[in-house]
Structure 1
Amino acid sequence: MEATQSTCLFLFFLLTRGLPPEVAADVQESSDGPSAAQEPVWLTDVPAAVEFIAAAEVAVIGFFQDLEIPAVSLFHSMVQKFQDVSFGVSTSSEVLIHYNISGNTISLFRLVDNEQLNLASEDIESIDDIKLSRFIEINNLHLVTEYNPLSVVGLFNSLIPIHLLLIINKASPGYEENMHRYQKAAKLFQGKILFILVDSSVKGNGKLISFFKLKKSQLPALAIYQTVDDKWDTLPITEVSEAQVQNFCDGFLRGERLRENDESGEKAQKVEL
Structure 2
Amino acid sequence: MLFILFLSLLTTSATAKEKDSALPRLTDASAAQAFIDSAEVVVIGFFQGEDSFGYKEFLEAASEVSPLPVALCTERDVWAAYDITSDTISIFRKADLHQENLPLSESKKLDSEGLTRFFRINELRYITEYNAVTAVGLFNSEVKTHLLLFANRGSADFTKLKDRLGALAPEYSGKFLFVLVNGALQSNARSLGYFGLKSRDLPRVGIYDGDSDRKWLLPSGEISTERVKEFCDSFLQGTLQIS
TM-score range, shorter chain: 0.7 to 0.9
Preserved CA contact (<8 Å) 1:231 1:258: no
Q: C-alpha separation between the residues in 1 aligned to 2:158 and 2:197?
A: 19
Q: C-alpha separation between the residues in 2 aligned to 1:237 and 1:60?
A: 39
Count of residue pairs brought into register by the alignment? 224
Determine the structure 1 residue equivalent to 2:8: none
Q: C-alpha separation between the residues in 2 aligned to 1:173 and 1:237?
A: 17
- The structure with the largest alpha-carbon Rg is 2
Preserved CA contact (<8 Å) 1:144 1:183: yes
Q: C-alpha separation between the residues in 2 aligned to 1:236 and 1:209?
A: 15
The answer to whether structure 1 residue 110 and structure 2 residue 93 are counterparts is yes
Q: C-alpha separation between the residues in 1 aligned to 2:221 and 2:129?
A: 20
Counterpart of 2:232, as a letter, is: C
The answer to whether structure 1 residue 255 and structure 2 residue 232 are counterparts is no
Preserved CA contact (<8 Å) 2:150 2:202: yes
Alignment of 1:38-187 (within 5 A): 39-69=22-52, 71-124=54-107, 126-187=109-170
RMSD: 2.0
Q: C-alpha separation between the residues in 1 aligned to 2:168 and 2:225?
A: 5
Q: Alpha-carbon deviation of 1:40?
A: 2.0
Preserved CA contact (<8 Å) 1:107 1:116: yes
**Aligned partner (choices 176, 200, 213) of residue 193 of structure 1:** 176
Structure 2 alignment gaps of length 5 or more:
1-18
Q: C-alpha separation between the residues in 1 aligned to 2:223 and 2:125?
A: 19
Specify which structure has the bigger relative contact order, considering alpha-carbon pairs within 8 angstroms and separated by 6 or more residues.
1
Runs of 4+ with deviation above 4 angstroms: 236-239
Q: C-alpha separation between the residues in 2 aligned to 1:220 and 1:109?
A: 31
Q: Alpha-carbon deviation of 1:84?
A: 4.1
Identity of aligned pairs, percent? 36
Q: Alpha-carbon deviation of 1:201?
A: 0.6
Summarize the Cα distance change of 1:65–1:225 in structure 2 as closer, same or farther, 3 Å threshold.
same
Q: C-alpha separation between the residues in 2 aligned to 1:194 and 1:100?
A: 25
Cα offsets for 1:197-226 (capped at 9, x unmatched): 000011010001001112333211111011
Q: TM-score, normalised by structure 1?
A: 0.76
The answer to whether structure 1 residue 208 and structure 2 residue 191 are counterparts is yes
3-state SS of paired residue (1:247)? helix
Q: TM-score, normalised by structure 2?
A: 0.85
Preserved CA contact (<8 Å) 2:150 2:180: yes
Structure 1 alignment gaps of length 5 or more:
1-36, 261-273
Q: Alpha-carbon deviation of 1:102?
A: 2.2
Q: C-alpha separation between the residues in 1 aligned to 2:220 and 2:42?
A: 34
Counterpart of 1:147, as a letter, is: Y
Preserved CA contact (<8 Å) 1:71 1:124: no
Counterpart of 1:102, as a letter, is: T
Q: Alpha-carbon deviation of 1:121?
A: 2.6
Preserved CA contact (<8 Å) 1:71 1:125: no
Q: C-alpha separation between the residues in 1 aligned to 2:50 and 2:222?
A: 51
Q: C-alpha separation between the residues in 1 aligned to 2:219 and 2:64?
A: 36
Cα offsets for 1:36-95 (capped at 9, x unmatched): x89221100011101111222111101010212362222222233223421110110111
